[in-house]
Amino acid sequence: MKYILSTMANSINYRTYKTSGQIPVVVDAIIIHGGARTPSATSGFGDRVDGGSQPLWTAQGVVTKVTDEQYASLMLHTLFKKHLDANRVKILDDNIAGNHSAIIKETRSMECTDKSDQLTPSTVKQSIAVKTNHHMQSDTQFSL
């Protein structure tokens, strides 16, 4: 039994195909759960922030249990190997799913930014740039 720690915001379905004639057929599908840095009002796991009327919890990583057969399949999967090389997922021998401090410790050395991350007040300032052109001519006509 192995455990996969993911710092991705979304779950990933790693599928293995075989070709039957000209049609690819799914042989295996392994879902590694996402949800890192995604605030939740119901999970009760992660960093707690009082968000107005109810608290929000944000987990830094999510752990998925995989069997030995699934682990062997993942180690052959091209996309999983890319995520492993990019430090987006980590293979663990122990289950730390219920231990937020252990997850924080493990994720410190992992890549923790994702284009799918939910915007926060600090990332909004970094990611949104509005450009305006104030030099429009007054005789500019628009038509449909």
- Encode pLDDT of 22-41 as tens digits: 999 999 999 999 988 887 77
Residue 96: predicted pLDDT: 94
pLDDT(63) > 80: yes
Strand partners, 66: 2
Residue range 43-49: mean pLDDT, rounded = 73
Q: What is the pLDDT of residue 57?
A: 79
For residue 91, the model assigns a pLDDT of 97
64 DSSP assignment: E
What pLDDT, on a 0 to 100 scale, did the predictor assign at position 137? 57
If you average pLDDT over every residue of the chain, what do you get?
Answer: 83
The whole-model pTM stands at 0.75
What is the per-residue pLDDT for 126?
Answer: 65
Counted residue by residue, the chain has a size of: 144
Contact call for residues 3 and 93 (beta carbons, < 8 A): yes
User: Residue 66's pLDDT is what?
Assistant: 97
Tens-digit pLDDT profile for residues 74-120: 999 999 999 999 999 999 999 999 898 999 899 988 877 766 666 66
Residues whose CB is less than 8 angstroms from the CB of residue 111 and which lie 6 or more positions away in sequence, other chains included: 7, 86, 87, 88
Q: CB of 62 within 8 A of CB of 5?
A: yes
Q: In this predicted structure, what is the pLDDT of residue 114?
A: 65
